[in-house]
Structure 1
C-alpha cells in the first residue's frame, strides 16, 4: 500500500472517529458568509471586472450574438457561480490550513505518531506566506484558463487548480511542527509527484455535493498522515544508518 493510499484511508477513518463536526463546518460557513458580504457590498465592482475579462476573451461578444436575454442572463449567473465557488473553496482551505491544522496535527500525532519529536521547522509567518502564494497561483490558474470554458476544455481547470492548491497549501503546514527545514525539503523533493497525486485525489471530493463540506478537513488529515508517515520513515532510516 502506497503512502498516498494509506493517507487517504487514514483520513476517511479519522473523519468517522473524531468528533470534529464544528471543526468541519465553521471554515466553510465563515468562507461563504465572507464572500456573500463581499459580493453584496462590491457586486458592481466585481461585475465590471467580469465584463472586462469577458470582453478580453471575446466571450461577452459571443453572448451578445446569441440574441437571447434569458440565455445571456443565465450565462452571466453561471459565470458568477464559477467565480464564487473557487473563492469559497480557496478561502475555506486557507482557514483550515492556518487555523485548524494545529488542532488536527495534535490529534493525529497523539494517536498515531507519538514517537515523533517536534523540531518546528515551520513558522506562522511561513504558513501565511505559503497560503498567499498558493492563493495567488490558484486565482491565476482560473483567470488564465478561463477561455478554455468557451471551447469545452475548461472541465479540467477545477481539478488542476484544486490539485495545486491542496498540495501547495497543506504540505507545509502538515510538517511545520514536526520536521526541520532539511527534512521538509527532502520529503517534498522526493515526493513531488506523490504530493500532486494526493492533491488530485483529495480534490475530487470537493466536487461532490454535501461531501464537499468534509473536503477541507479530509484534505488536511490526508496530508498530515502523508507528511508524518514520510517523516517517520525518514527518521527511522537515518537512525538505522547511524547504528
Structure 2
C-alpha cells in the first residue's frame, strides 16, 4: 500500500543518519546562498524586477517584485539542495536498503555523468517552466498547484535515475515503478511550502521511491 510507503519514508526521514545527511546538504545550500545574496541582493532584486516590466501599474509591479525576489531566491536554494542530494545520496540509500531490505543489493552505482545529466536536464526544464508560469503562482490555490507540479519536475527524473539505477536492473520493473514517480515527486515537493523543511524534499522523494 502507498500509505505504508509514506509511513516508512517518514520514519526514515527522522532517523539519525538521514537527519545528518539532510543537515549537511540543506544547511550547506542555505548558507551558500545567504553568503551570495549578502553581496548581490540588490542586483538580484533589480534583475527580478526587470523581468516583471510587462505587469501594468507601477504599484502592482512593485508589490509583486517584493514577493518575487524572495520567492526566486528560495527556489534557488531548493534547486541547489536537489542537485546536491542527487549527487551525494548513494551511500545513504544503500544503508537504508540494508536496514529495510537485506536481500536488496546495490546492483550498480549510477554514473556521476548520468546523475549530473538527469539533474541538469530536470533543472533546465524546471527553470523554463518556472519563468514561463511564474505569473500564475500568485493565483490563489491554482497557482499553488501549478507551483507544486513545477517543483516536482525537479525531483522526478533524478529520483528515478539515482534510486532505480542503484537497485533495479530489470527495465520492465523500473518502468512499472516509474509510473508513481510523478506522485512521489509531488508529495515530496509539499515540503517546499514550509521554509527549512524544504531541505527534506529531495531525499524524501528518493526514500519513497526506494520503499514503493
Shorter-chain TM-score bucket reads: 0.7 to 0.9
Contact 1:97 1:169 in 2 (8 A): yes
CA distance in 1, matches of 2:143, 2:25: 27
Aligned partner of 1:13 in structure 2 is 11
Find the aligned partners of 2:68 and 2:74 in 1 and give their Cα distance. 10
1:196-237 alpha-carbon deviations (Å, 9 max, x no partner): 1111112122213554343333233212223xxxxxxxxxxx
Residue 211 (structure 2) pairs with residue 222 (structure 1): no
Contact 1:32 1:88 (8 Å CA) reproduced: yes
Deviation at 1:6, TM superposition (A): 3.0
For the pair 1:148 / 2:146, whether they are aligned, the reply is no
- 1:96 and 1:220 in contact (8 A); partners too: no
Deviation per CA, 1:161-199: give whole Å up to 9, x if none.
12222222211111222233xx2x434433444111111
Relative contact order, CA 8 A, sep 6+: which one is greater?
A: 1
Taking structure 2 as the reference length, the TM-score comes to 0.85
Tell me, what secondary structure is at the counterpart of 2:166? coil
* TM score, norm. by length of structure 1: 0.75
Aligned residue for 2:101? Answer: 113
2:49 and 2:65 in contact (8 A); partners too? no
Extract unaligned runs of 5+ from structure 2. Answer: none
Q: 2:34: which partner in 1?
A: 36
Unaligned regions of 5+ residues in structure 1, if any? 227-243
Q: Which residue of 2 aligns with 1:159?
A: 148
Give runs of aligned pairs for residues 64-213 of structure 1, distance below 5 A.
64-65=58-59, 72=62, 75-99=64-88, 101-120=89-108, 122-149=110-137, 151-152=139-140, 153-180=142-169, 183=170, 185-209=171-195, 211-213=197-199
- Mapped to 1, the partners of 2:40 and 2:70 lie a distance apart of 15
- Residues 137-168 of structure 1, C-alpha deviation per residue, up to 9 Å, x if partnerless? 11112101022245554222320112222222
1:21 is displaced (CA, Å) by 3.0
1:24 corresponds in structure 2 to 22
**Structure 1 pair 121/144, CA: closer, same or farther in 2 (3 Å)?**
same
Q: Distance in 2 between matches of 1:47 and 1:89?
A: 18
